[in-house]
Structure 1
């Protein structure tokens, strides 16, 4: 059967740990050099910087792009033929809203009051004539103002003459244009009479061609003048201002306000991560930091990386007596799936976000995807190298900060030394000279050594049968040339220590048992039902779109502009462009009636004002024909050609030229009257109302586009300056649903691959769905709308959700025991690192609360909800759920692990304590016994053997437990004791054999359950007999296990081919040992 992914990744990471330790210096330096090299890309940062909000916040294929192109094709911007109200392109455009200062009792004052109009005119004249900037040209200084930079019509600037039109009628002069686009809340009846104005708009349009930089400086100066709160421009009027650089400037100000917050965030995270890497040392009841085992260097290297906590926890679970290479390999092997799930799922989540149609989301996901990819690579290289060096410092007993030998706690005579200088003892030198176990990733091969007075020689490797190599063995052979040799001192040591930490004790003895009580489970179920109910309710109430005022800080001048717009012109007074690309034949009564029906439908919606707010040249022309017919007795046009010819003459020569000439497109070939007087396209403006919220924007745009599509024969196009935001709002929900579905499918596939249990994978997918529903639902209650920023964070929530949930699910599957033990073991193993990783993220974003920008607040709120709900699911809901739905979850890849089955004696329920090890039906021979080599002093060996025999006897006096660990310990002691006894007897044969054997016999006979050792037999014969016993036991083990496999179905099943292979190797090993022992002389000693 092919090896599982779980097995492959553990094996690969174990090998990588050995290799990384060997080449730690290269892995430390190479990422730094790569970072320095790639940082050269910052020289292109200005070229890559995008400041166009319309590009960033709107889909690339948004309809507004086509709609604006239609306008630009028919009416391209001409800076020498500009007329306000007809512009659709806001380059060089300044829009100012002037309103009287708000009074809580009376609200906004009437701008028709003489005092307000005079003040407004004063401000207008100051901006036009007095607000200048200094420009140096050809060595001379010039003062440049609005009249030098303005767009013009007939070489005249637009000077906001409508202010005068709002004054008493005797000051109106010749102005007769409609005011719908100039003032708000002015129309009170169909005749256009008004007596109240809430706000007035002023416009200043400056040229961009050739003088764009100067125009930009002038616009900046106007903004500074009107936004100055220390020296306000007026005591009566407040102003809101917008120009084409305002929104980019506001967004940049938000980014700049975050920069100093990063320093605070980094300081907090450094402190938090540093404290989390401190290990406490208990010396006679006094707790102090263990500066040998503490790893502040790891905290510095892994700052901001949640997986740092998982790898750090895995390191501390390894046996400190192991070599650094082995500890690093064990650490990476244990953390392999956890850190891979974290990185791969995040990369998939943001990779899917890269294919969205929203450029803001796409750009963010692209950069984040690259960041996560490099984080994963650097974690396996740079961070691993740092761990290797930190491990070396720990192995040599060096202080983690000063890198000098730490003080033994017993030698710390002052409080300062106890707190800042003490540490654990360095790794024992004796362990570095003793081989005890073979590498865990290979099937162990016995080593036979023959000791003679002349020295020590090693026999050739034992022969094995030429079996077909499995895929994993081939991979193992490929690593042989690269892998680092295992430290011989690792042999005989377990990979993990049994020391208990305070946190693990809390999870195992307090939190875990409490969470899994029946009453707590019911409470958890009740809490979850409440949680998911409110989440679904919130999802049904979610609102889409982002008010533009929330894109900038509250203190930025653009915020005031959008506040005044919300109070005034968004309620009533905006204008929308309507383009008729295939005009009807207006001389034809049927076509004229069809067009009028379309116009009536446009004007009579909840988002448009009535006909008196529509600016259409056709109405003025038809009134002109009626006036000529009634007053001048000029007959009406009798043919189509005459109608259009008189229309064009009226637009060119009559008074309507300025207002209407830019609304029609005529033929340009004057030599051909038929095409010259042909109307190719025209446009008109509709007055808008009820345009306050993003939802209103979306509904209005959809309605206007639907009406235009209804009259397809006219090829109608509609456009408004807020359409770019509208198209973003329209795309948000479909894009979010599409991305979430794709991400969930991807997460499920990853879970199936990396989580060795399909049920657990489905449970994790369910947790992800639950978290996403909770985030979207509860952000509605928190005042967060669905827009690009919240969509980004929802995409991020998928990655966070699968991180925390997958860690718990994987640990639950890999744990042993019943459902309660598995859940507690999962929480004990991974609960604390998961909590630290999530909590560090919350700590990192807390500073965002202090930024007075709504988009930053949105980011904080959604990320906070993501982390909190992910922790709730990972540490509360999911463990309880797994105990319900997967009470007997098993690792589907368990057959790839080394079998640990131990056959037990088939006795009755009232079994008697075992009196002798011979009563065991069979026992698996552990690899640690096969590779143990000890050539120590015979006297010390005898004493050590005696103590081990006593321990083995005490273990056998107890009933055989059903747990594998106890049986394994008994079997290991059994074989170790017998081999050790044989070594003692053989070692004392020359001169002292008889005496030592008798003493040993007496001690053995004093215990009823001791191993029956014959001290008078020569050592080689005893070894021969013990080997035969174990050969028979190995055979009995296989037979007994086959008989009892059904009775012990709850135990882990072993792969028959792997077990047979191991048994065959063990038997051949003993036969080889017997052969070598037989050729030894009487002066030789043999130890296996």
Structure 2
């Protein structure tokens, strides 16, 4: 909208300028807002099984909706207010009437510095007062960059650079790994980072201590139940009161299949009273019934699994196996460790968001197919989005960013960001007729390049504070968004302007053969001055 406003003439009426701005930008802005709402709406739907991602997408939808209302109401009113200030030759900051040059010369230097204006009331009505063409960025694009990027000697280097870009992206893409480092979810300068680093370095072959909780009363004295419990914990390094108690009974040459009362009394009055087993008293909960009979209502054990250092997926598989077993076994138990919360997060961090991103991408392409004026625009958009996403994934991996929930959400956002920036360039190029491809590439850059560049600079300024936050999650967010912006900028100002100049179809139309029946009648009239010494003007009618 700001770019469209600067293209209008300042001597136009405010209503005409505002109407031109809204006619030029609000359609594309409304469609972009709709695409953002759809993609983030899919992330906020029940299809997303990660609560953090759902909350993020929900808040994004609310922010985008209110941003749309803000642009329609307050921002549009600000443009109208600015237009009246410019028509009245008032200063844009102090809102004071700008004095005439002869009056301004009599004022102090600081006053002249603050209230110097480009225009005055003495400006002729016939003089063009459009300052957009004199803007530094517009002048740079028209005068230097457009001719340079479409130069025949520059194109091979850009294509070579794009091949290098694809090569490095492919190298990173082949090394993509799912997020499994738990230190990525905490602040950087904390003791947790030191602990997780030391644990992964020296004790990564062992799982966290898993709590095995039996949450209902079972027949511990029954030999079949004893075999089931021992079978469930088989293969683990166990810290178990139950196994220690059974070994204790065997050492005393007492059968483990005692009656219930004898089994419980021996457990309370003999086993737990021994000093070496007294610490197990915290792992057993006894309850007295109405007939003073004591029963074990709940108990816990601790398990540690040994895994391969290079295959942490084994721990996730083991966790899922135990959980499925707890649903089908006769003994009702649960397994838990505080780190399971984050393991669940990483185990489901890629599947559901990646599925939602694919749905969003397909919907956007389907949605844009009905909005674009030419199907070729949709083809170019699809290829550009694929190239940008492929590069972001590859360079993200090379920058030590794993494919987790945050990075996948950024990839979803990257689809919208790429379409938002590349669609105007592609539309202007594809819909252009009667000139060469190079001419329309230059025209597209001149029309939309400044707006894209200004948007990119504002976007980067907004990302800079994220780099200073001491959190790995925020750092991941910063790196992904920065790569999306950088790669998209690279495509808008280098890759697309070069590739569009030599890839088919051609914009040159074949000259139609003139039909001899359709003859052209040409009338030429020369207007000469009174003394017939020179031709003043010539009028040709076809």
- Tell whether the structures are fold-level matches, with TM greater than 0.5: yes
Residues 561-599 of structure 1, C-alpha deviations (whole Å, 9 max, x = no match): 545555666665842112457999777777755654443
Q: Tell me, yes or no, if structure 1 residue 653 matches structure 2 residue 269.
A: yes
Question: 3-state DSSP class of the match of 2:304?
Answer: strand
Q: Distance in 1 between matches of 2:132 and 2:195?
A: 66
Residues 84-142 of structure 1, C-alpha deviations (whole Å, 9 max, x = no match): xxxxxxxxxxxxxxxxxxxxxxxxxxxxxxxxxxxxxxxxxxxxxxxxxxxxxxxxxxx
Measured after TM superposition, the shift of residue 397 of structure 1 is 2.2
Q: Distance in 2 between matches of 1:373 and 1:732?
A: 27
Measured after TM superposition, the shift of residue 654 of structure 1 is 2.0
Q: Tell me, yes or no, if structure 1 residue 424 matches structure 2 residue 119.
A: yes
Name the TM-score, length of structure 2 as normaliser.
0.81
Residues 741/574 of structure 1: CA separation in 2 closer, same or farther (3 Å cut): closer
Residue 530 (structure 1) aligned to one of 140, 160, 164: 164
Question: 3-state DSSP class of the match of 1:915?
Answer: strand
Residues 508-557 of structure 1, C-alpha deviations (whole Å, 9 max, x = no match): 34322332344433333332233233223323323333645444444445
Measured after TM superposition, the shift of residue 1002 of structure 1 is 5.5
Q: Distance in 2 between matches of 1:322 and 1:906?
A: 47
8 A contact 1:361–1:788 mirrored in 2 = yes
8 A contact 1:544–1:786 mirrored in 2 = yes
Residues 385/510 of structure 1: CA separation in 2 closer, same or farther (3 Å cut): same
Q: Distance in 1 between matches of 2:330 and 2:285?
A: 15
Residues 660/826 of structure 1: CA separation in 2 closer, same or farther (3 Å cut): same
Q: Distance in 2 between matches of 1:551 and 1:499?
A: 49
8 A contact 1:573–1:689 mirrored in 2 = yes
Measured after TM superposition, the shift of residue 411 of structure 1 is 7.8
Q: Tell me, yes or no, if structure 1 residue 790 matches structure 2 residue 399.
A: no
Q: Distance in 2 between matches of 1:730 and 1:573?
A: 16
Question: 3-state DSSP class of the match of 1:424?
Answer: coil
Residue 870 (structure 1) aligned to one of 472, 475, 488: 488
Residues 556/684 of structure 1: CA separation in 2 closer, same or farther (3 Å cut): closer
Q: Where do residues 625-664 of structure 1 align in structure 2 (5 Å cutoff)?
A: 625-629=249-253, 636=255, 642-656=258-272, 659-660=279-280, 663=283
Residues 622/552 of structure 1: CA separation in 2 closer, same or farther (3 Å cut): closer
Q: Distance in 1 between matches of 2:532 and 2:77?
A: 51
Q: Distance in 1 between matches of 2:117 and 2:478?
A: 41
Residues 484-505 of structure 1, C-alpha deviations (whole Å, 9 max, x = no match): xxxxxxxxx9998995655334
Measured after TM superposition, the shift of residue 889 of structure 1 is 7.5
Q: Tell me, yes or no, if structure 1 residue 702 matches structure 2 residue 323.
A: no
Q: Tell me, yes or no, if structure 1 residue 805 matches structure 2 residue 412.
A: no
Residue 395 (structure 2) aligned to one of 760, 773, 778: 778
8 A contact 1:397–1:427 mirrored in 2 = no
Residues 739/539 of structure 1: CA separation in 2 closer, same or farther (3 Å cut): farther
Residues 617/820 of structure 1: CA separation in 2 closer, same or farther (3 Å cut): same
Q: Distance in 1 between matches of 2:231 and 2:70?
A: 67
Aligned to 2:87: 395
Q: Where do residues 681-700 of structure 1 align in structure 2 (5 Å cutoff)?
A: 683-688=300-305, 696=312, 699-700=314-315
Aligned to 1:39: none
8 A contact 1:542–1:780 mirrored in 2 = yes
Question: 3-state DSSP class of the match of 2:301?
Answer: strand
Residues 557/708 of structure 1: CA separation in 2 closer, same or farther (3 Å cut): closer
Measured after TM superposition, the shift of residue 644 of structure 1 is 3.6
Residue 75 (structure 2) aligned to one of 353, 361, 383: 383
Give the unaligned 5+ runs of structure 1.
1-310, 432-492, 604-609, 630-634, 891-904, 917-952, 955-999, 1013-1032, 1038-1088
Q: Tell me, yes or no, if structure 1 residue 320 matches structure 2 residue 15.
A: no
8 A contact 1:545–1:787 mirrored in 2 = yes
Q: Distance in 1 between matches of 2:32 and 2:451?
A: 13
8 A contact 2:43–2:353 mirrored in 1 = no
Q: Where do residues 242-281 of structure 1 align in structure 2 (5 Å cutoff)?
A: none
Residues 615/879 of structure 1: CA separation in 2 closer, same or farther (3 Å cut): same
8 A contact 1:350–1:366 mirrored in 2 = yes
Residue 858 (structure 1) aligned to one of 476, 484, 493: 476
Q: Distance in 2 between matches of 1:412 and 1:906?
A: 68
Aligned to 1:339: 29
Residues 418/671 of structure 1: CA separation in 2 closer, same or farther (3 Å cut): closer
Question: 3-state DSSP class of the match of 1:577?
Answer: strand
How many matched pairs?
A: 524
Residue 239 (structure 2) aligned to one of 610, 615, 638: 615
Measured after TM superposition, the shift of residue 867 of structure 1 is 0.9
8 A contact 1:915–1:1009 mirrored in 2 = no
Q: Where do residues 357-756 of structure 1 align in structure 2 (5 Å cutoff)?
A: 357-407=49-99, 417=112, 420-426=115-121, 501-545=135-179, 547-556=181-190, 558-563=192-197, 565-566=199-200, 574-579=208-213, 596-600=230-234, 602-603=235-236, 610=237, 614-629=238-253, 636=255, 642-656=258-272, 659-660=279-280, 663=283, 669=289, 671=291, 683-688=300-305, 696=312, 699-706=314-321, 709=324, 712-714=328-330, 717-756=334-373
Question: 3-state DSSP class of the match of 1:319?
Answer: coil
Q: Distance in 2 between matches of 1:1011 and 1:549?
A: 80
8 A contact 1:409–1:418 mirrored in 2 = no
8 A contact 1:579–1:718 mirrored in 2 = yes
Residues 1010/569 of structure 1: CA separation in 2 closer, same or farther (3 Å cut): closer
Residues 596-629 of structure 1, C-alpha deviations (whole Å, 9 max, x = no match): 44433x32xxxxxx4xxx1223322222322332
Residue 915 (structure 1) aligned to one of 507, 517, 524: 524
8 A contact 1:535–1:773 mirrored in 2 = yes
Residues 879/512 of structure 1: CA separation in 2 closer, same or farther (3 Å cut): same
Residues 445-465 of structure 1, C-alpha deviations (whole Å, 9 max, x = no match): xxxxxxxxxxxxxxxxxxxxx
Residues 150-200 of structure 1, C-alpha deviations (whole Å, 9 max, x = no match): xxxxxxxxxxxxxxxxxxxxxxxxxxxxxxxxxxxxxxxxxxxxxxxxxxx
Larger radius of gyration: 1
Residues 317/595 of structure 1: CA separation in 2 closer, same or farther (3 Å cut): same
Residues 914/408 of structure 1: CA separation in 2 closer, same or farther (3 Å cut): farther
8 A contact 2:285–2:298 mirrored in 1 = yes
Residue 757 (structure 1) aligned to one of 355, 366, 374: 374
**Structure number with higher relative contact order (C-alpha < 8 Å, ≥ 6 residues apart):** 2
Measured after TM superposition, the shift of residue 708 of structure 1 is 5.7
Measured after TM superposition, the shift of residue 830 of structure 1 is 0.6
8 A contact 2:49–2:352 mirrored in 1 = yes
Residues 717-764 of structure 1, C-alpha deviations (whole Å, 9 max, x = no match): 322121000110011111231121122123224433443222212322
Give the unaligned 5+ runs of structure 2.
509-513
8 A contact 2:374–2:431 mirrored in 1 = no
Name the TM-score, length of structure 1 as normaliser.
0.43
Question: 3-state DSSP class of the match of 2:439?
Answer: helix
Question: 3-state DSSP class of the match of 2:209?
Answer: strand
Q: Tell me, yes or no, if structure 1 residue 839 matches structure 2 residue 457.
A: yes
8 A contact 1:1004–1:1011 mirrored in 2 = no
Residues 573/346 of structure 1: CA separation in 2 closer, same or farther (3 Å cut): closer
Measured after TM superposition, the shift of residue 315 of structure 1 is 1.6
Question: 3-state DSSP class of the match of 1:825?
Answer: helix
Residues 710/557 of structure 1: CA separation in 2 closer, same or farther (3 Å cut): closer
